Structure 1
Amino acid sequence: MNHRIWLAALALAATFAHAQDNSAQEANVGPAAAAAERFLAAVDKGDVTGSYNEMAGASRLMVTLQQWDGAMKTVRAPLGRLESRRMVTAVPTRNLPGAPEGDYVVIQYNTRFSKLPDDQMAIETVTPMLDRDGNWHVSGYYVKQVPHRELKD
């Protein structure tokens, strides 16, 4: 086989494999978003145990239920009740800083809470991962208050 043809075939195979990998990662968005929604529903109700049970096994090993309860009282409760939430991005990835390689989807929401000033909203970042049990569970949750002008569309 001619070297150019062989290299072209190799490049085509690599491109096809990359496309399949991207397609598989994109397929993760739906199940990951469903896990994020279950988690957020529990958080919104103030169901600390329910939200904790939706967390990934590795996250539960790093944070006790009591620590999670304290975090929810410190971070989430002061924001008040949920008024609106809109998913703005869902990005599948295999690598996150400080985390082992795996299947993750980083999901961001523009969220309005009742106790935020009128000129502010929140960006909630929820990161589900495909856990060892073969199901999607949340490995990270972060809330940042921002002025309206800093929100993604």
Structure 2
Amino acid sequence: MKTVCAVSMAILLICSGLSSVWAESNAEKKQVSAAEVWLHLIDDGKYAESWKEASFYFRGAVSEQNWVASLEPVRKSLGKLVDREIVKMEESSSLPGAADGKYVVMTFKTVFEQKKSAIETVTLMLDKDDEWRAAGYFIK
């Protein structure tokens, strides 16, 4: 009887641990997917659409016209996307200059036709509708 209880307890602990890992991996998948979908809009030259799909915070910080005007010349000069690989993800509840919330900062190693080694940083936030949306973007 003790053996059955011990085995049952071990299975229960393993299953609860796996569901926690699954939940984290499912949340991470949603974050990565949100970043990739948003970046593809930019890759396709759909700058205005990327602004519309960005977070409430992002749209309040920069106008659509300014976003397009600042992004278009930079991205066009880089040429087409060749490869993009995520190299780092960090979750945070606060970022400098932003209200507390749920954030994830993703760093990508990116290759463009005209720039063989670029680093893209996308900051996502959990928006008012509980969807992950872009709150910041930087290319180095």
Place the TM-score, normalised by the shorter chain, in its bin.
0.7 to 0.9
In structure 1, list runs of 5 or more residues that go unmatched.
1-22, 145-153
Once residues 97 and 73 of structure 2 are traced to their aligned partners in structure 1, the CA distance between those partners, rounded to angstroms, is 24
Displacement over 6 Å in runs of 4+? 23-26
**2:47–2:72 contact (8 Å) kept in structure 1:** no
Percent of matched pairs sharing the same residue = 37
**1:29–1:92 contact (8 Å) kept in structure 2:** no
**1:32–1:129 contact (8 Å) kept in structure 2:** no
**1:56–1:138 contact (8 Å) kept in structure 2:** yes
Map 1:23-34 onto structure 2 (within 5 A).
28-34=27-33
Kindly indicate whether residue 128 of structure 2 is the aligned counterpart of residue 132 of structure 1.
Answer: yes
Once residues 72 and 51 of structure 1 are traced to their aligned partners in structure 2, the CA distance between those partners, rounded to angstroms, is 11
Secondary structure of the corresponding residue to residue 97 of structure 1: coil
Once residues 25 and 61 of structure 2 are traced to their aligned partners in structure 1, the CA distance between those partners, rounded to angstroms, is 28
Map 1:1-20 onto structure 2 (within 5 A).
none
Partner of 1:82: 81
Q: CA deviation at 1:25?
A: 7.2
**1:25–1:92 contact (8 Å) kept in structure 2:** no
Partner of 2:96: 97
In structure 2, list runs of 5 or more residues that go unmatched.
1-21
Q: CA deviation at 1:74?
A: 3.0
Q: CA deviation at 1:75?
A: 2.3
Map 1:116-131 onto structure 2 (within 5 A).
116=115, 120-131=116-127
Secondary structure of the corresponding residue to residue 117 of structure 2: strand
Once residues 100 and 23 of structure 2 are traced to their aligned partners in structure 1, the CA distance between those partners, rounded to angstroms, is 15
The alignment yields a C-alpha RMSD, in angstroms, of 1.8
**CA displacement, residues 54-102 of structure 1 (integer Å, 9 cap, x when unaligned):** 2101110111111111111232221111000000011111111111111
Judging changes above 3 Å, is the alpha-carbon distance between structure 1 residues 91 and 25 closer, same or farther for their aligned structure 2 residues? farther
Q: CA deviation at 1:45?
A: 0.2
**1:124–1:141 contact (8 Å) kept in structure 2:** yes
Q: CA deviation at 1:24?
A: 7.6
* TM-score normalised over the length of structure 1: 0.72
